[in-house]
Structure formats: C-alpha cells, structure tokens
C-alpha cells in the first residue's frame, strides 16, 4: 500500500520530502556527534545545504512563492521553519561549545514540525513510517551520545587539592609516530589556597628563550611551557606561558574560537604579574614552577591542558601536549583533561 501511494506521488513531491528526510537525518546525526564532543563542520554544512534545498522546493511546490500561502499554514510554523534554517547556516561557524548546545535544540525544534507532518498531510502519508523510524533512531543515537558524554563527565576524575596532586605527561597524539626529537615532560598540579600550583619537569637538549619582556609571543622566541585552564562549564579560559628566563605570557579568551578573531595578542593580554612563574635549570633540561590564582573551590571541576614548545637552535620547535588532540591545535577545550578540586 505504501509503495503504491509513493508511486502515485509527483516526482517533485517525492524529491522535496526525500530531501526533508535527508536533512532531518543529517541534523540528528550532527547533533549526536556534537553532544559526543566530536563535531564535524562538514556534516553541519551539508545539513544546512540539504535543508535549504528542501525549503526552496517547499516554497515552489506548496507555496508557489506566495507569502500569503506560506502564512496560511500558520505564522508560528512559518517563523519557526525559517529561524531553524538560519540556525543551520550559523551552527558550522560557532564555537564547538556553543554549537554543542544549539544543535540538539535545533533538532528538537525541527522534530516538533517535521515528525507530525506526514500524519497531517495526506499527500506525504507514505513518509509516515520512514519518518517515525528515523526519528526514533536519531533519538536513540543522541541519547547514546549524551549518555557517553555524561559517563565521561561524571566518571572518576583526578583530584587536586592542597595535599593531593594529579600527574600529567605530554605527548603528540596528532602524530602517527612521535618525533625523534621529542623530549619528555611531566607535570604535577595541586590546588592550594585558591591557586593552581604547577610544576613541570622538561627534558631539553637546548634550553633557551629570546624573550626580553612579559606578554611577548613566547612560543616564537624559544622554549615555552604553556598552561590552559577554565571552569568545565565555562566557555572562557586562561592561557599562561613561562620561558626558561622567567618571562611570562598571560592571556584570557572568551571562548575556543576567540583566538581566531583577534589580530594579535594585545587585545587578550592580561597583567602578567597576576601569575607567578619561576624557571630553573636541571641536569637534563629545565623546570617550570607556575602559580595561577583561580576562582574555584572544593567540588568544582576544571578543564586543564599543559603544552610545550621545545625549541632548539637551527630547527623547528617540537610541540607536545597533555591533551589527546587529534590535530595540532591546543585551543580545543573539549579535549582538555578534567580534574575535580578537593579540600
């Protein structure tokens, strides 16, 4: 019966609502990936293009490019329809954290109108079963993604406090093989009296920095140890560098995409004297001691990442990070380690 009804439909109608199913499937899949912390900008853009194609055909087929006819289906539905379309084109360019919230909400809004449609309009009745099955499958997918993310967030976290520390080692997760010039780094972090207390021991063949003052572009001037920290539920974060000659860089960003929107570091630089940094030479390299005042208390969860530019004269620096970044990019808070503060 369903196949006979489908065969009786106009080809343009079939195309229009097949595109609707495709866009709906892409939207739900995109929401699941974002909830899981694995955003795919290409998928978000494909979702927007599929939705736009569907909307254009709806305007042609159902509305005949008449605003009056479009509003006959309900002003609220019309407004929702086009707000969602606009959101779909905005989502790919938002920060991952913002998009992670908006994509599932957009899916929910679309579902309110899309899922009942085959039951309201007899001309698209053959799409009732496919739409229902797809909706249930996408709900299960998003639920599984959220459950996975929730287990990751509420699981046993490393704890830091005045007498309890967490240990981190740096690696190169974005590379298939570690560079031959890679040298080890171990980081120990406490939280004492409202301050992150960090000690990093770095093996280094050529310890140097040409930085001459605070808040310079330290990563371009030699060796640099970097700290990234934020409250887990916050978008804003702090970045602090220390060089072997005690030069500090102190930056604050509004979100994970902020660093892409600035022309230079001056607009995000903060008083370097707020943080305390001391470096010392060791037998096999150097040690960085960094203390960062941070407004947090017992029970709070912080996202942390420690990175390093290991510079040697005559070659490019070797980069490493404590975070499992799949690409060489340190400003990716969703991949930073999470720790819980204890007394």
Q: Got the DSSP string for 287-309?
A: EEEEEEE----TT-EEEEEEEEE
Triad 31, 34, 35: Cα angle to 5°: 85
- CB within 8 A of 31, min separation 6: which ones? 103, 104, 106, 107, 138, 142
pTM over 0.95: no
Alpha carbon distances (Å) from 150 to 36, 92, 153, 234: 9, 24, 5, 17
pLDDT at residue 2, rounded to an integer: 45
Pair of tokens at residue 83: 């707000």
User: How confident is the prediction along the chain (343 residues), in pLDDT tens digits per residue?
Assistant: 444 454 445 677 788 888 888 988 999 999 888 887 777 888 989 999 998 998 888 888 878 888 888 787 678 778 877 888 888 888 888 766 677 778 888 888 888 888 888 888 787 788 888 889 999 999 999 888 877 665 555 557 999 999 999 999 999 999 999 999 999 999 999 999 999 999 999 999 999 999 999 999 999 999 999 999 999 989 999 999 999 999 999 999 999 999 999 999 999 999 999 999 999 999 999 999 999 999 999 999 999 999 999 999 999 999 999 999 999 999 999 899 999 999 8
Q: Each residue of 226-283: pLDDT tens digit? A: 999 999 989 999 999 999 999 999 999 999 999 999 999 999 999 999 999 999 999 9
The CATH number for 159-341, chosen from 3.40.50.2300, 2.60.40.1190, 2.120.10.30, 3.40.50.1000, is 2.60.40.1190
Q: Each residue of 309-330: pLDDT tens digit? A: 999 999 999 999 999 999 999 9
Interatomic CA distance for residues 44 and 54, integer angstroms: 16
pLDDT at residue 104, rounded to an integer: 85
Q: Which residues pair with 229 in a beta bridge?
A: 238, 304
Interatomic CA distance for residues 72 and 35, integer angstroms: 36
Alpha carbon distances (Å) from 13 to 3, 32, 122, 237, 286: 15, 29, 12, 49, 69
Interatomic CA distance for residues 6 and 291, integer angstroms: 68
Contact 336, 323 (CB under 8 A): yes
pLDDT at residue 67, rounded to an integer: 85
pLDDT at residue 97, rounded to an integer: 65
Contact 134, 25 (CB under 8 A): yes
- Helical H segments across the chain, by residue range: 2-8, 11-35, 41-61, 67-72, 75-90, 96-114, 117-120, 128-154
- CB within 8 A of 227, min separation 6: which ones? 196, 198, 238, 239, 240, 241, 290, 292, 304, 305, 306
Interatomic CA distance for residues 183 and 178, integer angstroms: 10
pLDDT at residue 130, rounded to an integer: 87
């Amino acid at each position: 019966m369903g196949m006979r009804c489908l065969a009786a439909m106009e080809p343009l109608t079939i195309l229009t609502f097949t595109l609707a199913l495709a866009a709906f499937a892409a939207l739900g899949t995109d929401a699941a990936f974002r909830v899981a912390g694995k955003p795919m900008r290409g998928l978000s853009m494909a979702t927007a293009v599929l939705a736009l194609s569907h909307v254009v055909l709806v305007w042609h087929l159902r509305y005949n490019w008449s605003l009056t006819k479009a509003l006959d289906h309900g002003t609220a539905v019309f407004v929702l329809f086009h707000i969602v379309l606009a959101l779909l084109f905005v989502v790919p360019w938002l920060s991952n954290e913002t998009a992670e919230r908006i994509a599932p909400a957009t899916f929910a809004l679309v579902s309110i109108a899309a899922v009942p449609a085959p039951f309201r309009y007899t001309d698209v009745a053959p799409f009732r079963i496919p739409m229902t099955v797809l909706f249930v499958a996408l709900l299960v997918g998003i639920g599984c993604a959220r459950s996975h993310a929730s287990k990751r967030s509420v699981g046993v976290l490393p704890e830091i406090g005045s007498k309890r520390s967490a240990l981190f080692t740096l690696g190169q997760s974005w590379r298939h093989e570690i560079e031959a010039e890679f040298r080890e780094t171990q980081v120990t972090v406490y939280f004492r009296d409202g301050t992150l207390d960090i000690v990093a021991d770095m093996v280094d063949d050529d310890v140097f920095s040409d930085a001459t003052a605070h808040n310079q572009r330290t990563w371009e001037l030699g060796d640099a140890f970097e700290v990234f920290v934020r409250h887990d539920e916050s978008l804003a974060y702090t970045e602090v560098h220390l060089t072997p000659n005690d030069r500090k860089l102190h930056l604050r960003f509004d979100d994970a995409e902020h660093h892409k929107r600035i022309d230079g570091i001056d607009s995000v630089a903060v008083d370097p004297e707020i943080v305390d940094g001391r470096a010392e030479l060791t037998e096999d390299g150097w040690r960085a001691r960094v203390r960062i005042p941070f407004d947090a208390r017992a029970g709070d969860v912080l996202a942390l990442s420690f990175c390093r530019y290991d510079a040697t004269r005559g070659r490019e620096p070797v980069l490493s990070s404590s975070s499992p970044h799949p690409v060489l990019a340190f400003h990716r808070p969703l991949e930073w380690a999470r720790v819980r503060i204890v007394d």
